Homo-oligomer: A and B are copies of this chain.
Amino acid sequence: MNILEKITQSKAAFSKSERKVAEVILANPQTAIHSSIATLAKMSDVSEPTVNRFCRRLDTKGYPDFKLHLAQSLANGTPYVNRHVEETDGPEEYTKKIFESTMASLEVARQSIDINVVNRVVDLLTQAQKISFFGLGASASVAHDALNKFFRFNVPVVYFEDVLMQRMSCMNCSEDDVVVLISHTGRTKSLVEIAQIARANDATVVGITSKNSPLARECNLVLSLEVPEDTDMYMPMASRIAQLTLIDILATGFTLRRGGKFRENLKRVKDTLRGSRFEKRTD
């Protein structure tokens, strides 16, 4: 909540001297944050305690606290807002908007995540015999990415694009297998069926999806991501990014759980890639 607005709004509740202080601050807030209470009192032609009382009336702890609030208000307001792209936007605008709304979505996602579930899923993954990642449409690339990450960990990891292959794979599941299903809406029929098949074969099913969705109801554990999606674009954007970040988190939890020696393995995998790359020039 912006304190400058609050000052203008509360003007009526101020006394004569307090209003003088308000005027001076509104006239030149930048100066105000760099002044001491004595300077500001002199500028407003009131006494120091009056300035102090003025601050308290705005629900701040005192003058320094007030300056903090003021500084924050001046730091050009609300940045990462989920602003929608308009028909008339040029490259500059839509680039900015997409970056900002992606960041805003990540912020929302972060707050919606249940750490305890994350922890339990990491537990499950580290103990799994086989890990499967399945997603369809836009979530397929997320599953693909998960494959790439967990493959490096030298654990049996499975990923299929093909729905039939996914089904067959789940039919062969056993008790110690974990199946991770990714879907933004959680309403894709074939994926819900896959969850049922996997469950029927005693696998543990983890859903990265929206809570209270049909898919979520079929899962043993749900990592719910409540990310607002700009439906005007008819394309999933922010949800994927949040899902991927969650994959990063699971992968990180996995490596940490497995400990230091395991990390050395990872380094070996990375070093193996070196042969396929051009050396970095040292210029």
Contact = CB atoms under 8 A, between A and B. Distances in A.
A79 B248 CA distance: 20
B260 A233 contact: no
A91 B115 contact: yes
Nearest to A190: B276
Contacts of A241: 241, 244-245
Interface in A234-258: 234-235, 237, 240-241, 244-245, 248-249, 251-253, 255-256
A269 interface: yes
Nearest to A144: B141
Given A72-B72, A99-B245, 20 more contacts: A69-B71, A73-B75, A76-B79, A85-B252, A91-B118, A91-B119, A94-B256, A98-B248, A98-B252, A103-B103, A103-B107, A106-B106, A137-B273, A144-B144, A149-B235, A187-B278, A188-B277, A189-B278, A240-B244, A241-B241
A5 interface: no
Contacts of A252: 85, 94, 98, 233
A244 B102 CA distance: 10
Nearest to A86: B256
A122 B234 CA distance: 19
Identical copies of this chain, number: 2
Contacts of A80: 77, 103
Contacts of A77: 78-80
Contacts of A78: 77, 79
A91 B122 contact: yes
Nearest to A264: B234
Contacts of A248: 98, 102, 235, 237
A114 to B, nearest CB: 10
A15 interface: no
Interface string A131-168: 00000011011101100110010000000000000000
